[in-house]
């Protein structure tokens, strides 16, 4: 089986990943200049200069492919931009370098063991850039003739394709005919057919035919009829992750599991075979390893077993850069009764570069609010902006950001386009922030279910032990 490790490249080429971020959709990068100095307000990023610069430096090392098996920890209070900076890094990396983001609690799923979930996440973050020679047919369609059998079940046909130098006739089978009709290929189109995967792509219409029709969509692209041979060899380069190779080659699941996301556990022997094969490809110059980034958000939610597994995994030959974020101070390490900084064991902390994030100044908060308003298409009155900024200082940045869209709905109800102070005030009375919620609970004097009156410490301990 080892001999037939497939990369599934031809099938994978068409998968585009969709990203939905929401709270961080205004972040378009780290906002650094060429010398990695953070700009005050750029690419949706404001302030937090040191952490952004540190992130930029690490990124540079990743891009140069020099870093593997390193780890980095963003530590700081809630809503100081840890997740935002990590997403900014992802955007800067470019499409070819894998970036995987998981929340630590995802590891505790029922369908697979913790270490398997972590292994999958780690392998998702390692790219393999594979060079493949593929044979393509490229030319202008002269004629396409399709014969259907009486029942219509089978189709056969002939396709005549030319370049400026030659003309060739190909026999078509049912699959190829379907692929051509899906692309709506007609005579006069310039097309390319990948011979291994059978994928048809339309490159445009031939200039020679530009006068044949008067009515043509504005988006019709005219191209020259290609020169030379109809069949050409082309070198194509594509990047897949180690995890994708694992899944495609796991016999029980196969390629379709990638779409379902339901990959189950993958046998260690298979992984070993794939590692050997990839190393072989690398030696032959057929493949290149691209260590990417694995971001583990809320990392304090991992337990001691996961941490020791990570310690070991970081020393592996195929290891990505692991970035973690935690908002805990001295906290109990999950699964033990010991306390440790950020809820991480000291031996792991010893291996990581720690970057701290700090609360924002009122000016920075104001800038972030402005950016969010633009992103959510909300107009704030100047006075409302000042009020919202001071609200953020008294409550949290997140709470204030949440009020933007609430304020807009209230403003719209009175048929106004601009959000005024009054709208924010009303939103403030509808939705409580954390401090007011605690106050409210105190006022209820234990009328809620399962409340332990006056024993804050007891509750804390109960939580820590879980």
Going by C-beta distance under 8 Å and a sequence separation of 6 or more, which residues neighbour residue 453?
445, 446
Query: Residue 29 corresponds to which tokens in the numbers above?
Result: 């990068």
Q: Which segments within 357-457 are labelled E, that is strand?
A: 379-380, 418-419
**Looking only at residues 187 through 226 of this chain, which bind ligand ATP when binding is defined by CB under 6 A?**
none
Determine the interface stretch with ligand ATP among 79-87, 160-168, 375-383, 444-452 (rule: CB under 6 A): 79-87
Partner from Mg ion, ligand ATP, none binding residue 27, C-beta < 5-8 Å depending on class? ligand ATP
* The dihedral formed by the CA atoms of 271, 272, 275 and 278, expressed in degrees to the nearest 10: -90
Query: Does residue 80 interact with ligand ATP by CB under 6 A?
Result: yes
Query: Which residue from 48, 80, 83, 120 is in contact with Mg ion, where contact means CB under 5 A?
Result: 83
Q: Which segments within 207-318 are labelled E, that is strand?
A: 222-223, 231-241, 287-291, 293-297
For the CB of residue 48, give the shortest distance to ligand ATP in the complex, in Å.
Answer: 4
294: helix, coil or strand?
A: strand
Contact mark string toward ligand ATP, 346..375, x via CB under 6 A = ----------------------x-------
Nearer to ligand ATP, 8 or 359 (CB): 359
In DSSP notation, 300-325 reads GGSBHHHHHHHHHHTTSSS--EEEEE
First to last CA, the chain: 44
Determine the interface stretch with Mg ion among 79-87, 139-147, 246-254, 314-322 (rule: CB under 5 A): 79-87
Query: Which residue from 81, 127, 292, 345 is in contact with ligand ATP, where contact means CB under 6 A?
Result: 81
Measured CA to CA, the distance from residue 197 to residue 48 in angstroms comes to 48
Nearer to ligand ATP, 48 or 239 (CB): 48
Q: How many residues bind ligand ATP (CB under 6 A)?
A: 21
Query: Residue 1 corresponds to which tokens in the numbers above?
Result: 């089986």
Nearer to ligand ATP, 24 or 124 (CB): 24
Measured CA to CA, the distance from residue 7 to residue 106 in angstroms comes to 27
Measured CA to CA, the distance from residue 5 to residue 349 in angstroms comes to 37
For the CB of residue 344, give the shortest distance to Mg ion in the complex, in Å.
Answer: 16
Nearer to ligand ATP, 225 or 331 (CB): 331
Measured CA to CA, the distance from residue 382 to residue 366 in angstroms comes to 11
Measured CA to CA, the distance from residue 42 to residue 47 in angstroms comes to 10
When CB distances to ligand ATP are compared, the closest residue is 81
Query: Does residue 47 interact with ligand ATP by CB under 6 A?
Result: yes
Pairing of strands 126-148, 231-241: antiparallel
The helix or strand, by DSSP H or E, that contains position 335, with its residue range, turns out to be none
Supply angle C-alpha 425, 81, 301, rounded to 5: 105
Nearer to Mg ion, 7 or 83 (CB): 83
For the CB of residue 369, give the shortest distance to ligand ATP in the complex, in Å.
Answer: 9
Going by C-beta distance under 8 Å and a sequence separation of 6 or more, which residues neighbour residue 192?
136, 137, 138, 200, 201, 203
Contact mark string toward ligand ATP, 15..44, x via CB under 6 A = --------xx--x----------------x
Contact mark string toward Mg ion, 176..215, x via CB under 5 A = ----------------------------------------
- CA distances to 31, 53, 72, 264 from 37, rounded to whole Å, are 9, 6, 20, 44
Query: Which residue from 5, 7, 48, 59 is in contact with ligand ATP, where contact means CB under 6 A?
Result: 48
Query: Which residue from 30, 67, 84, 176 is in contact with ligand ATP, where contact means CB under 6 A?
Result: 84
DSSP label at 38?
A: B
Nearer to ligand ATP, 119 or 357 (CB): 357
Query: Does residue 83 interact with ligand ATP by CB under 6 A?
Result: yes
Nearer to ligand ATP, 48 or 163 (CB): 48
Query: Residue 242 corresponds to which tokens in the numbers above?
Result: 């180690």
Partner from Mg ion, ligand ATP, none binding residue 45, C-beta < 5-8 Å depending on class? ligand ATP
Nearer to ligand ATP, 370 or 436 (CB): 370
Determine the interface stretch with ligand ATP among 59-67, 74-82, 239-247, 438-446 (rule: CB under 6 A): 74-82
Residue 384 contacts residue 83 (beta carbons within 8 Å):
no
Nearer to ligand ATP, 47 or 320 (CB): 47
Going by C-beta distance under 8 Å and a sequence separation of 6 or more, which residues neighbour residue 201?
183, 191, 192, 193, 194
**Interaction site with Mg ion (CB under 5 A):** 83
**Interaction site with ligand ATP (CB under 6 A):** 23-24, 27, 44-48, 78-84, 325, 327, 368, 397-398, 401
């Amino acid at each position: 089986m080892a001999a037939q490790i497939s990369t599934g490249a031809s099938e994978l080429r068409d998968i585009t990943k969709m990203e939905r971020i929401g709270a961080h959709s205004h972040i378009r990068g780290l906002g650094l200049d060429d010398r990695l100095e953070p700009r005050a307000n750029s690419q949706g990023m404001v302030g937090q200069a040191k952490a952004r610069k540190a992130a930029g430096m690490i990124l540079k090392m990743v891009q140069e492919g020099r870093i593997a098996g390193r780890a980095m920890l963003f530590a700081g209070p809630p809503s100081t931009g840890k997740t935002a900076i990590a997403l900014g890094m992802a955007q800067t990396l470019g499409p070819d370098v894998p970036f995987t983001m998981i929340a630590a609690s995802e590891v505790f799923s029922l369908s697979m063991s913790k270490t398997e979930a972590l292994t999958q996440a780690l392998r998702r973050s390692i790219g393999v850039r594979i060079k493949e020679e593929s044979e393509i047919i490229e030319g202008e369609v002269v004629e396409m003739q399709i014969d259907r059998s009486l029942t219509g079940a089978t189709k056969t046909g002939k396709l005549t394709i030319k370049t400026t130098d030659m003309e060739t006739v190909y026999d078509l089978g049912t699959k190829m005919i379907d692929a051509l009709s899906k692309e709506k290929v007609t005579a006069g189109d310039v097309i390319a057919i990948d011979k291994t995967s059978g994928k048809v792509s339309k490159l445009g219409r031939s200039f020679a035919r530009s006068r044949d029709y008067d009515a043509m969509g504005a988006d019709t692209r005219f191209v020259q009829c290609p020169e030379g041979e109809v069949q050409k060899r082309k070198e194509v380069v594509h990047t897949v992750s180690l995890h994708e190779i694992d899944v495609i080659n796991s016999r029980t699941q196969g390629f379709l599991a990638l779409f379902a996301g339901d990959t189950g556990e993958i046998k260690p022997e298979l992984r070993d075979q794939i590692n050997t094969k990839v190393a072989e490809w690398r030696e032959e110059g057929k493949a290149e390893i691209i260590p990417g980034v694995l971001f583990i958000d809320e990392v304090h939610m991992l337990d001691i077993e996961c941490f020791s597994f990570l310690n070991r995994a970081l020393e592996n030959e195929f290891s990505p850069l692991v970035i973690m974020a935690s908002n805990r101070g001295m906290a109990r390490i999950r699964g033990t009764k010991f306390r440790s900084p950020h809820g991480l064991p000291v031996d792991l902390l010893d291996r990581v570069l720690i970057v701290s994030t700090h609360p924002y100044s009122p000016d920075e908060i104001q800038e972030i609010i402005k950016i969010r308003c633009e992103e959510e298409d909300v107009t704030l009155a100047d006075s409302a902006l000042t009020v919202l900024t001071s609200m953020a200082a008294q409550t949290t940045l997140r709470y204030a950001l949440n009020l933007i869209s609430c304020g807009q709905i209230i403003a719209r109800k009175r048929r106004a386009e601009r959000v005024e102070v009054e709208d924010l005030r009303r939103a403030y009375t509808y939705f409580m922030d954390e401090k007011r919620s605690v106050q409210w609970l105190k006022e209820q004097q234990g009328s809620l279910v399962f409340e332990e009156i006056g024993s804050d410490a007891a509750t804390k301990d109960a939580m820590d032990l879980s």
